[in-house]
């Protein structure tokens, strides 16, 4: 479920491609949430979420709303690629789903 999108201004000349992070249930010494880098696609520079946030321009309203809903396990996708039909999933696309096996099946 998408919780929002916002334009972020990166430092000039920086290319990050598409990067995927998962929020951890830990914070650093400054109280910032720790993130696990899950994937990097597109040849961009590997980024650290709190460091990138300090060096970038993120709309304050979006940042505040995001902080209110981010919990451990939240996925964050950062990209400097343009949004187009090629960079979006079709409606109904599921990355992960779970089902419960009927009792007594041994699965």
Q: Is the distance from CB of 63 to CB of 50 less than 8 angstroms?
A: no
Q: Is the distance from CB of 62 to CB of 76 less than 8 angstroms?
A: no
In tens, the pLDDT along 52-95 reads: 888 888 888 888 888 888 999 998 888 887 777 776 677 777 76
Count of C-beta atoms within a 10 Å radius of residue 47: 21
Alpha helices in the chain (DSSP H): 49-55, 60-69
**Claim: this prediction has a pTM higher than 0.85:** no
Q: Which of 16, 11, 23 is nearest to 46 (CA)?
A: 16
Quote the tokens at residue 61: 């309203």
Domain parsing of the chain, residue ranges? 18-81
């Amino acid at each position: 479920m998408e919780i929002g999108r916002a334009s972020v201004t990166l430092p000039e000349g920086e290319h990050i491609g598409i990067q995927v992070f998962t929020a951890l249930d830990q914070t650093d010494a400054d109280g910032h949430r720790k993130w696990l880098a899950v994937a990097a696609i597109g040849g961009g520079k590997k980024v650290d979420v709190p460091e990138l946030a300090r060096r970038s321009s993120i709309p304050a309203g979006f940042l505040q709303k995001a902080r209110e809903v981010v919990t451990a396990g939240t996925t964050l996708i950062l990209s400097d690629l343009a949004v187009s039909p090629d960079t979006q999933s079709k409606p109904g696309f599921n990355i992960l789903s779970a089902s419960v096996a009927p009792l007594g099946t041994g699965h």
